[in-house]
Homo-oligomer: A and B are copies of this chain.
Amino acid sequence: MTVFTFLDYAAVFVFALTGSLVASRAQLDIVGFCFFACLTAVGGGTLRDVLLDRNPVFWIETPAFLAVACGAAVLVFMTAHLFESRYRLLLWLDAVALGVAVAVGSGVAQSLQHSAPVVVVMGIVTGCMGGLMRDVVSNEVPLVLAKGELYVTCAFAGSLATVLAGGYGLEANLAALLCALVTFVLRAGSLAFGWSLPVYKSRPPKV
Protein backbone atom coordinates (compact mmCIF):
# COMPACT_ATOMS: atom_id res chain seq x y z
CA MET A 1 0.00 0.00 0.00
CA THR A 2 1.53 3.27 -1.10
CA VAL A 3 1.17 6.45 0.90
CA PHE A 4 -1.35 7.71 -1.68
CA THR A 5 -3.58 4.69 -1.18
CA PHE A 6 -3.48 5.23 2.56
CA LEU A 7 -4.20 8.94 2.21
CA ASP A 8 -7.06 8.20 -0.17
CA TYR A 9 -8.68 5.96 2.46
CA ALA A 10 -8.05 8.54 5.16
CA ALA A 11 -9.64 11.35 3.12
CA VAL A 12 -12.62 9.15 2.28
CA PHE A 13 -13.10 8.24 5.95
CA VAL A 14 -12.90 11.78 7.29
CA PHE A 15 -15.03 13.30 4.55
CA ALA A 16 -17.56 10.54 5.21
CA LEU A 17 -17.64 11.64 8.86
CA THR A 18 -18.51 15.19 7.77
CA GLY A 19 -21.20 13.94 5.39
CA SER A 20 -22.70 11.88 8.19
CA LEU A 21 -22.69 14.88 10.51
CA VAL A 22 -24.67 16.81 7.93
CA ALA A 23 -27.09 13.88 7.73
CA SER A 24 -27.40 13.97 11.53
CA ARG A 25 -28.28 17.69 11.38
CA ALA A 26 -30.96 16.82 8.82
CA GLN A 27 -32.23 13.97 11.05
CA LEU A 28 -32.03 11.30 8.36
CA ASP A 29 -32.10 7.51 8.81
CA ILE A 30 -29.06 5.25 8.51
CA VAL A 31 -29.35 4.94 4.72
CA GLY A 32 -29.45 8.72 4.45
CA PHE A 33 -26.28 8.83 6.55
CA CYS A 34 -24.58 6.40 4.16
CA PHE A 35 -25.79 8.39 1.14
CA PHE A 36 -24.28 11.66 2.41
CA ALA A 37 -21.17 9.88 3.65
CA CYS A 38 -20.52 8.38 0.20
CA LEU A 39 -21.43 11.54 -1.70
CA THR A 40 -19.05 13.65 0.35
CA ALA A 41 -16.32 11.04 0.53
CA VAL A 42 -16.01 10.12 -3.12
CA GLY A 43 -17.53 13.19 -4.80
CA GLY A 44 -14.34 15.17 -5.26
CA GLY A 45 -12.19 12.21 -6.27
CA THR A 46 -14.85 11.03 -8.69
CA LEU A 47 -14.95 14.40 -10.41
CA ARG A 48 -11.13 14.36 -10.58
CA ASP A 49 -11.13 10.90 -12.17
CA VAL A 50 -13.82 11.84 -14.69
CA LEU A 51 -12.01 15.04 -15.66
CA LEU A 52 -8.67 13.24 -16.02
CA ASP A 53 -10.40 10.34 -17.81
CA ARG A 54 -8.99 7.80 -15.36
CA ASN A 55 -10.88 4.55 -15.90
CA PRO A 56 -12.32 3.03 -13.88
CA VAL A 57 -13.14 5.67 -11.27
CA PHE A 58 -11.26 4.87 -8.05
CA TRP A 59 -14.19 3.49 -6.03
CA ILE A 60 -15.47 1.41 -8.95
CA GLU A 61 -12.06 -0.23 -9.13
CA THR A 62 -11.87 -0.57 -5.33
CA PRO A 63 -15.36 -0.67 -3.78
CA ALA A 64 -13.72 -0.92 -0.34
CA PHE A 65 -13.79 2.88 -0.35
CA LEU A 66 -17.58 2.70 -0.19
CA ALA A 67 -17.38 0.30 2.74
CA VAL A 68 -15.09 2.71 4.59
CA ALA A 69 -17.52 5.58 3.96
CA CYS A 70 -20.49 3.53 5.19
CA GLY A 71 -18.50 2.48 8.24
CA ALA A 72 -17.97 6.15 9.07
CA ALA A 73 -21.71 6.72 8.63
CA VAL A 74 -22.58 3.98 11.11
CA LEU A 75 -20.02 5.34 13.57
CA VAL A 76 -21.52 8.83 13.43
CA PHE A 77 -25.09 7.49 13.59
CA MET A 78 -24.23 5.89 16.91
CA THR A 79 -22.05 8.58 18.48
CA ALA A 80 -22.80 12.06 17.08
CA HIS A 81 -25.12 12.94 19.95
CA LEU A 82 -22.14 12.70 22.29
CA PHE A 83 -20.64 15.87 20.87
CA GLU A 84 -21.46 19.30 22.20
CA SER A 85 -21.37 21.13 18.87
CA ARG A 86 -21.67 18.96 15.81
CA TYR A 87 -21.17 21.90 13.46
CA ARG A 88 -17.87 22.82 15.09
CA LEU A 89 -16.80 19.17 14.86
CA LEU A 90 -17.85 19.14 11.23
CA LEU A 91 -15.69 22.19 10.49
CA TRP A 92 -12.58 20.65 12.02
CA LEU A 93 -13.03 17.23 10.44
CA ASP A 94 -13.63 18.96 7.13
CA ALA A 95 -10.33 20.79 7.60
CA VAL A 96 -8.48 17.50 8.09
CA ALA A 97 -10.19 15.89 5.10
CA LEU A 98 -9.47 18.95 3.00
CA GLY A 99 -5.76 18.68 3.73
CA VAL A 100 -5.57 15.00 2.93
CA ALA A 101 -7.74 15.17 -0.18
CA VAL A 102 -5.82 18.09 -1.67
CA ALA A 103 -2.61 16.09 -1.23
CA VAL A 104 -4.14 13.07 -2.95
CA GLY A 105 -5.67 15.05 -5.80
CA SER A 106 -2.65 17.13 -6.67
CA GLY A 107 -0.39 14.10 -6.24
CA VAL A 108 -2.46 12.00 -8.63
CA ALA A 109 -2.44 14.74 -11.27
CA GLN A 110 1.30 15.20 -10.86
CA SER A 111 1.98 11.47 -11.18
CA LEU A 112 0.10 11.60 -14.51
CA GLN A 113 2.53 14.31 -15.73
CA HIS A 114 -0.08 17.03 -15.96
CA SER A 115 0.93 20.69 -16.19
CA ALA A 116 1.22 22.85 -13.06
CA PRO A 117 -2.17 24.62 -13.45
CA VAL A 118 -3.93 21.29 -13.90
CA VAL A 119 -2.18 19.88 -10.81
CA VAL A 120 -3.36 22.87 -8.79
CA VAL A 121 -6.94 22.60 -10.08
CA MET A 122 -7.09 18.86 -9.38
CA GLY A 123 -5.95 19.50 -5.81
CA ILE A 124 -8.75 22.03 -5.38
CA VAL A 125 -11.33 19.81 -7.11
CA THR A 126 -10.49 16.74 -5.04
CA GLY A 127 -10.38 18.74 -1.83
CA CYS A 128 -13.35 21.06 -2.19
CA MET A 129 -15.89 19.43 -4.49
CA GLY A 130 -17.02 16.56 -2.27
CA GLY A 131 -17.80 18.98 0.54
CA LEU A 132 -19.42 21.34 -1.94
CA MET A 133 -21.74 18.59 -3.20
CA ARG A 134 -22.59 17.73 0.43
CA ASP A 135 -23.49 21.35 1.18
CA VAL A 136 -25.45 21.96 -2.01
CA VAL A 137 -27.52 18.78 -1.72
CA SER A 138 -28.21 19.30 1.99
CA ASN A 139 -29.14 22.98 1.57
CA GLU A 140 -26.40 24.10 3.96
CA VAL A 141 -24.45 27.27 3.08
CA PRO A 142 -21.44 25.98 1.14
CA LEU A 143 -18.16 26.24 3.06
CA VAL A 144 -16.54 27.68 -0.09
CA LEU A 145 -18.70 30.76 0.59
CA ALA A 146 -17.39 31.05 4.15
CA LYS A 147 -17.09 34.79 4.75
CA GLY A 148 -13.83 36.11 6.19
CA GLU A 149 -12.30 32.63 6.30
CA LEU A 150 -9.81 30.81 4.16
CA TYR A 151 -11.15 27.74 2.39
CA VAL A 152 -10.40 27.40 -1.33
CA THR A 153 -7.28 29.43 -0.57
CA CYS A 154 -5.95 26.62 1.65
CA ALA A 155 -6.49 24.07 -1.12
CA PHE A 156 -4.81 26.42 -3.57
CA ALA A 157 -1.77 26.91 -1.31
CA GLY A 158 -1.46 23.19 -0.66
CA SER A 159 -1.62 22.32 -4.34
CA LEU A 160 0.95 24.99 -5.06
CA ALA A 161 3.20 23.36 -2.47
CA THR A 162 2.91 20.09 -4.38
CA VAL A 163 3.91 21.80 -7.62
CA LEU A 164 6.86 23.57 -6.02
CA ALA A 165 7.98 20.43 -4.20
CA GLY A 166 7.87 18.57 -7.49
CA GLY A 167 9.85 21.32 -9.18
CA TYR A 168 12.57 21.06 -6.53
CA GLY A 169 12.64 17.29 -6.93
CA LEU A 170 11.12 16.43 -3.56
CA GLU A 171 10.08 12.78 -3.30
CA ALA A 172 6.32 12.32 -3.98
CA ASN A 173 5.40 10.99 -0.52
CA LEU A 174 7.12 13.91 1.21
CA ALA A 175 5.49 16.34 -1.20
CA ALA A 176 2.09 14.89 -0.30
CA LEU A 177 2.83 15.28 3.40
CA LEU A 178 3.95 18.86 2.86
CA CYS A 179 0.83 19.64 0.84
CA ALA A 180 -1.50 18.19 3.47
CA LEU A 181 0.28 20.14 6.21
CA VAL A 182 0.18 23.46 4.36
CA THR A 183 -3.51 23.04 3.59
CA PHE A 184 -4.51 21.95 7.08
CA VAL A 185 -2.42 24.51 8.95
CA LEU A 186 -3.85 27.39 6.91
CA ARG A 187 -7.40 26.15 7.37
CA ALA A 188 -6.83 25.53 11.08
CA GLY A 189 -5.37 29.01 11.46
CA SER A 190 -8.44 30.40 9.77
CA LEU A 191 -10.81 28.46 12.04
CA ALA A 192 -8.90 29.06 15.27
CA PHE A 193 -7.37 32.51 14.81
CA GLY A 194 -9.47 34.04 12.04
CA TRP A 195 -6.69 34.16 9.46
CA SER A 196 -8.08 35.58 6.24
CA LEU A 197 -7.35 37.46 3.07
CA PRO A 198 -8.85 40.92 2.49
CA VAL A 199 -12.38 40.46 1.16
CA TYR A 200 -14.03 42.48 -1.54
CA LYS A 201 -15.69 45.63 -0.20
CA SER A 202 -18.98 46.13 -1.94
CA ARG A 203 -18.80 49.93 -2.14
CA PRO A 204 -16.10 52.36 -1.03
CA PRO A 205 -17.29 55.16 1.24
CA LYS A 206 -18.38 58.25 -0.69
CA VAL A 207 -15.79 61.01 -0.30
With a cutoff of 8 Å between Cβ atoms, the chain B residues found around residue A81 in the complex are 201-204
Number of copies of this protein chain within its complex:
3
Indicate the size class of the contact surface on chain A.
35 or more
- Complex Cα gap A66–B156 (Å): 14
Closest residue to A56 on the B side, CB-wise? B53
Report whether A202 and B145 are in contact in the complex, using a CB–CB cutoff of 8 Å. Answer: no
Closest residue to A33 on the B side, CB-wise? B200
Report whether B32 and A152 are in contact in the complex, using a CB–CB cutoff of 8 Å. Answer: yes
Which residues in window 92-129 of A have CB below 8 A to B? 114-115, 117-118, 121, 124, 128
Q: Name the contact of A118 in the complex, choosing from B63, B115, B197, B202 (C-beta under 8 A).
A: B63
**Which of the candidate stretches A8-16, A23-31, A165-173, A176-184 sits at the interface with the other chain?**
A23-31
- The chain A residues found within 8 Å of chain B, CB to CB, are 23-35, 38, 46, 50-53, 55-57, 60, 63, 66-67, 77, 80-81, 114-115, 117-118, 121, 124, 128, 132, 136-139, 141-142, 144-145, 147, 150-153, 156, 196-204
